[in-house]
A and B are shown apart, each in its own frame.
Chain A
Amino acid sequence: MSKKFWEELPQGSVVLEAGSSAKFKTGSWRSMRPRWIEENCIQCMFCWMYCPDMSVKVTEEGKRADFDFEYCKGCGICALECPGKKGNKAIVMEGEGN
């Protein structure tokens, strides 16, 4: 983020640039990393819906793709919500250092 002087700030801290949150990469916050196990995935898209960021990528055909680790903060919500196939989760959380 550029370091502005107080005289240059936009009035009332309004952000005038649309979609600027894409510049805010939250991936560095992560200590846990979700792993996608494709064979257990039923394409329900719960993970995409529940992800608080924009870290579950979707293909042009609307299918679930892998994670976007530039944004994934490792919160684990996707893993918790994932129904998986026959009791086998399609997302598991693993320690970032492992």
Chain B
Amino acid sequence: MGKIVAVTGNEACALALRQINPDVCAAYPITPATDLMQRFSGYVNDGKVDTELILVESEHSAMSACIGAAAAGGRVATATSSQGLALMWEMLYIAAGTRLPIVMPLVNRALSAPLNIHGDHSDGMGARDTGWIQLYSENAQEAYDNTIMAFRIAEHLDVRLPIMVCMDGFIVSHSIERVEYVDDADVKNFVGKFEAVHPLLDLENPKSYGPLILTDLYHEYKRAQHEVMTKVPAVIETVSAEFAKMTGREYNLFEKYRLEDAEIAIVVMSSAAGTTKDIIDQYREKGVKIGLLKPRMFRPFPFTEIAEALKHVKAIAVLDRADSFGGMGPLYSEIAACVMQMDSKPAVTNKIFGLGGRDYLPDQAEYVIDELIEIAKSGKVKTVKEYIGVRE
């Protein structure tokens, strides 16, 4: 068993990066991810890693440098948050379309305006269509474990795609929790040697990255990109199973909590799932058959598997820590697509919560569960989309 420590999410992810020792890391500071890369640059400074750390002038440059380094044939990592991710936007698509396995912890934070530095999923959800794999973590342990697994997933020869490892800004990134580390040697062994595919630095075999592809082939390239995403879930399952063998910690595409015999269910990602599980326990004691489903893999989204896992419930509340203004919450849209595949059609509501770091408190979970009980009885949904925990 590895060392048990009391650390923040950022600290744990920085340590994972030290253990993995990437070839190149290009980064630019942004709250709340600053502290992660600051700690990692400390490892660089102290000679604990061989990583070439490139200090750039913006996140757009950070991702550009990561793309160049990955195309050159290196194992590459960076980290960012919020506006930083937004500034990377065009480069995110290039990393994915060029099939470069860059690993990026994303410390989820709200987007401006108004300016806010606290946690919500607006940044990650804004990047959901970029072609990156996205894993969401509930706590520091999951963020650490996901970071280690992310290298194996991204670099898998069937995949070769960039990956974001998401954790909630401040709630996870800056809170001290119990984390069980994996020994350095075990991480090294688990992650293995980096295998470059078409490296630019292989000068014997010259090649070009980033050609112009017009109407005759672009559509085909996108079809191929869709195809590779369909291979990701199986790779995540295999890598997670291997990780479980090493650590005893089990991960799947999503987590089910007291869901098997549930009549009503909450779907929520990341740290809010922890609070929700506590409240579910309280309702279970009162005899309410409530369960939870926590997606870990948001991109690609496991539609069929989630449809199967939720098909027996009567009512579902989907809690989104991000909004699509004028549309439905992003997680709701995915769950609604799952429900479309079911013969039984459970009622589904969408609750927008916790924007800009607004605390998700037990009374919000209780409100949602009380309403779910009513919906399960009557079969009627009064309001499909609603903000909760809002002063009104």
Interface residues, chain A, with chain B CB atoms under 8 Å away: 1, 3-7, 9, 11-21
B46 part of interface (Cβ distance < 8 Å): no
A6–B208 touching, CB < 8 Å: no
Interface residues, chain B, with chain A CB atoms under 8 Å away: 97-100, 160, 197-198, 205-211, 213, 216-217, 219-221, 223-224, 227
A13–B210 touching, CB < 8 Å: yes
Q: Which of A3, A6, A13, A15 has the most CB of B within 10 A?
A: A13
Docked CA distance A74–B233 (Å): 51
A9–B97 touching, CB < 8 Å: no
B219: A residues at CB distance < 8 A: 6
A13–B211 touching, CB < 8 Å: yes
Residue of B nearest to A9 (CB): B224
A12–B97 touching, CB < 8 Å: yes
A18: B residues at CB distance < 8 A: 205-207
Docked CA distance A5–B197 (Å): 22
Known: A13-B97, A14-B198, A14-B207. 16 other contacts (CB 8 A): A1-B216, A1-B217, A3-B216, A4-B217, A5-B220, A6-B219, A6-B227, A11-B198, A13-B98, A13-B211, A15-B208, A16-B198, A16-B207, A18-B206, A19-B206, A21-B208
B227: A residues at CB distance < 8 A: 6-7
Docked CA distance A38–B160 (Å): 54
A14–B221 touching, CB < 8 Å: no
CB distance from B92 to the nearest CB of A (A): 14
B217–A14 touching, CB < 8 Å: no
A7: B residues at CB distance < 8 A: 224, 227
Q: Out of B97, B160, B211, B221, which one reaches A15, CB within 8 Å?
A: B211
Residue of A nearest to B209 (CB): A14
Residue of A nearest to B98 (CB): A12
Docked CA distance A15–B210 (Å): 8
A5: B residues at CB distance < 8 A: 220
B98–A14 touching, CB < 8 Å: yes
CB distance from A93 to the nearest CB of B (A): 26
